[in-house]
Chain A
Amino acid sequence: MSFFGFGQSADIDIILDGAEARKIAEVRTEEGRLKERHPLYYDGESISGKVNVTLRKPGSRLEHQGIKIEFIGQVELYYDRGNHHEFQSLVKELARPGEMTHSMSFNFEFVNVEKHYESYTGANVKLRYFLRVTVIKRLSDLVKETDIAVHTLSSYPDVNSSIKMEVGIEDCLHIEFEYNKSKYHLKDVIVGKIYFLLVRIKIKHMEIAIIKKETTGAGPNVFTENETIAKYEIMDGAPVRGESIPIRVFLAGYDLTPTMRDIAKKFSVRYYLNLVLVDEEERRYFKQQEIILWRKGDRIRKPISHSSSTVSNNVHSLQSTAATPSTPELKSPDGRPHAFTRQDSTNETTDLMSKLSTGEINPTSEDPRVTVETSPVAEE
């Protein structure tokens, strides 16, 4: 930052080690237009490199009160500009107060840096990691920042609990929908089907959409931003009872991030599949279901000991849903599916809600933080 056109006396460059070999991640900028490219780091990786401070006018001197480099991870809420919430902050001193008579280069290394959260640029919030070099001077500091991108990897079994539910409106429309999994990785395919149990309205078409909900803030000021990431028609025309419509959505083609819950207690990003049926009178019936998105790591680690076999997962083909722990069919006491009374015809959309019984596996209720302790000591 220079005032009154005095100009900077020196240029600062931050060069990261291993930049050529490192993967680049494309991160959306705030305006959403251009994509910035940043070197990609993972949790636990060390960040090292060097800082070049180059004097503009050769032969000039740069007097300073110290040079330091910081690694900062912070959450910026757009509606609260200027208030950055730093959840991670490391600092290293590069030079003690003194005078630079010529351009200098300083090495730095932050060892095994914790990076719990993924870099994210959203509609109302931004989480970023960056290195900041500060040359402290009397009037105004010289500052240079460079961003890095962080991806968080997860590991989930390939076959996990599917989502299966029967929903509808009494005497008008009963459908059963099924998605093959509740947790999908970012390059996964959603495979499912819609089965019509009862059709008494004239349906024009059916579409499926992926909705991203970004919730920011806490307590009384909570903002939710909904964005439709993808939408396409899966059925055109009126179905009849007993008809089954397949669903296949390739996630790799869309701009998705992993599901993020309560990041740094500041924001969440969650994804939903929205199934929408539209009838002849343009009334919309919809059912939203959350799915967990995760980022799969393609890194292979060295085998630990001589004999190691992978987790013996049950290998199930997608057809045999009976074998996987799926939801039992939801039925009310008299055998009919539960439903929500249809809203007035003047209203556009209707939420097909189904009453959640204990048997249904709803991904949102699963708390990975539930831990259990066992002592294998006690034996017969």
Chain B
Amino acid sequence: MGLLSRKATCNSHGQDSSYFLGWQEYEKNPYDEVKNHRGIIQMGLAENQLSFDLLESWLAKNPDAAGFKRDGQSIFKELALFQDYHGLPAFKKALVDFMAEIRGNKVTFDPNRIVLTAGATSANETLMFCLAEQGDAFLLPTPYYPGFDRDLKWRTGVEIVPIECSSSNRFQITASALEEAYEQAQRKNLRVKGVLVTNPSNPLGTTMTRDELDLLVNFITDKEIHLISDEIYSGTVFSSPAYVSIVEVLKDRNLENTQVWERVHIVYSLSKDLGLPGFRVGAIYSNDPIVVAAATKMSSFGLVSSQTQYLLSAMLSDKKFTKEYIAKNQKRLRKRQSKLVAGLEKAGIGCLESNAGLFCWVDMRHLLSSDTFEAEMELWKRIVYDVKLNISPGSSCHCSEPGWFRVCFANMSEDTLTLAMQRLKSFVGSIASNDRSHQEMKNSRRKLRSKWVFRLSFQSFHDREQDER
């Protein structure tokens, strides 16, 4: 049998196999309000299911957009043939306007500098191919989206070196952490080509402060490297502080049209704020014409369906709709996040204070039997098997401190969230009463029940890690 490539046989793609246990368990026993109310509730999926009604209502009022019609005339043929990797001009215009709107129109974007790709997954990989050689490295602040291990490294051969962030300062990026990461890369003989940040952050749900952004600009200027700002959650900022985009900072510092301006690249997608991950709409925005040119050609490997480009160009061109959608969607996200935070609080669990995203970064350190990742895994398995909630353990996000979990709140109904909070409260309560009963049994050691056997299955079914995002 002919040999396959190393990429095909390495079988790691940055996937943590124990993490997928949660997925498997969920799939075997998914919660359903009617049919399976004791099943596992999925809280590991960063999807936005809160505002579909707004989209459906728009679609119902605008049937031509999905019906391949423009001004009542069929444009099916035109769309069926349209495979220009420069993208549908009307769609790019509508998209950059939407991006500007999300940023309070404090910045504007040029449709000639945007490159469409099949999702942010494709955009991120393409940017790696454009900016780095095999063996080069990008610095990423931890905790970060687990999918980056595959998206940025797998086929590109690029390495990730973590910028360790800690709860001591709410996981913000510091100058020393940046320097330390850079030096670590040097020690490993890795040439650093840039920094990639996710802002708003996944999994933290926080937006970066102006100080952090300034720090980054200074750092990339000093080291003469790139900055990729993955802003796919920019439309999910639901409370203050208001979102400050990297472009805004560059503008405020009069850095437009300088060398550093050309080294900042933005990634966007409609999967999070519009809740349309299935439509595969991502984008790269860059002020470097060579990057735009190369990325445009590379987008051949992942173009957006013209059918989808047309539908969304019509939708996003409706400014009345987009304005209303952004406002209502954010309001619903805020309400839902508050509900999660309050519910956790009732269970004696705190979260990192957040103002964006579709999840909270939850502090369960006090529930660990020891300050170790083994204890985090134990706790996580209990939550999956006993409490029946599939949440994401911090270790899967490369967090340097055990005990943190990402818990999603926008991918279920309000009732389901209520139930999830009740289960968690009971669980925490039972730990507390266990403690008391142990003490009553004159055993002064607080030990959580922790003996069970887990068979880690390595079957690759349902390893839909792209849903983790």
Indicate, yes or no, whether A interacts with B: no
